């Protein structure tokens, strides 16, 4: 007996478009979540951003309105639908990813660059450069549910209430396993400098998952400038350093907006 694949989700379910708080936007910020994360976790960022910035958030397969879709097995399964679902007027785009989301962000930026639509900037947070092996593999296929939950709690970023509630845990664990398996194995094997946009790298100084020494090599993925900043904290440092984190992000957005006004990249 054959089973039909679920129909593709509408673009609005793949890339959330949060309501704008002003009369218009000067550029768009696309945020791509961490392994096991979903768009809901980043929706509160709307309140921390300038009203002139349109917030777009990627939603991965296996969660939210995309729950019935097959779970991702390649990074293309995460990045491809996002590229397709971007609004037509998102040419002035800054892309940001956190942890595994930085690898998705790199693939989205690479696809847009290859299509002649490079982003204005790429911001990567708490992640190794894409051509480096994962320094903190989870090996989810080797872990029981309880062991996987313990590993996720140690990293932070996921509400313990979700992981401690048996019914909720049963819902989220499959996508967590799929994401961490991807994050474990992903390495970019293509051309080294496949981007042209500026890259900003941010990490936590006490991050046990991605050491500060692994951040600087993002400079090798772009022909544009690359800068690195660190803030106190661990893998989800921005949860304690929100004001400083969004200050750094607003600087990137301001530079990208100025470049858009000049019709050139910075």
Q: C-alpha angle 169/170/174, rounded to 5°?
A: 100
The single residue of 25, 34, 98, 235 carrying the catalytic annotation is: 235
- The closest alpha carbon to 153, from 233, 236, 59, 64, belongs to 236
The answer to whether residue 99 is catalytic is yes
Catalytic residue among 28, 99, 102, 175: 99
Residue 235 annotated among the catalytic residues of the structure: yes
Q: Which residues are catalytic?
A: 99, 235
């Amino acid at each position: 007996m054959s089973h039909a694949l679920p129909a593709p989700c509408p673009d609005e379910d793949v890339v959330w478009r949060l309501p704008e708080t002003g009369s218009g936007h000067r550029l768009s910020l696309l945020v791509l979540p961490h392994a096991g994360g979903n768009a809901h976790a980043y929706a509160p960022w709307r309140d921390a951003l300038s009203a002139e910035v349109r917030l777009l958030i990627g939603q991965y397969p296996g969660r939210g309105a995309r729950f019935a879709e097959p779970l991702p097995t390649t990074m293309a399964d995460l990045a491809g639908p996002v590229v397709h679902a971007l609004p037509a007027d998102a040419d002035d785009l800054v892309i940001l990813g956190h942890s595994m989301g930085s690898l998705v962000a790199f693939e989205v930026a690479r696809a847009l660059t290859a299509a002649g639509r490079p982003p204005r900037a790429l911001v990567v947070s708490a992640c190794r450069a894409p051509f480096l092996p994962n320094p903190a593999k989870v090996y989810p296929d080797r872990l029981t549910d309880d062991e996987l939950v313990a590993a996720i709690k140690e990293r932070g970023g996921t509400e313990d209430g979700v992981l401690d509630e048996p019914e909720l845990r049963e819902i989220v664990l499959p996508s967590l396993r799929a994401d961490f398996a991807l994050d474990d194995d992903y390495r970019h094997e293509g051309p080294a400098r496949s981007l042209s946009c500026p890259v900003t790298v941010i990490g936590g100084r006490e991050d046990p998952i991605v050491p500060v020494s692994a951040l600087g090599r993002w400079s090798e993925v772009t022909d544009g400038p690359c800068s690195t900043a660190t803030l106190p904290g661990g893998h989800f440092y921005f949860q304690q350093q929100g004001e400083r984190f969004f200050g750094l992000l607003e600087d990137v957005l301001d530079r990208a907006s100025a470049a858009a006004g000049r019709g050139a990249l910075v």
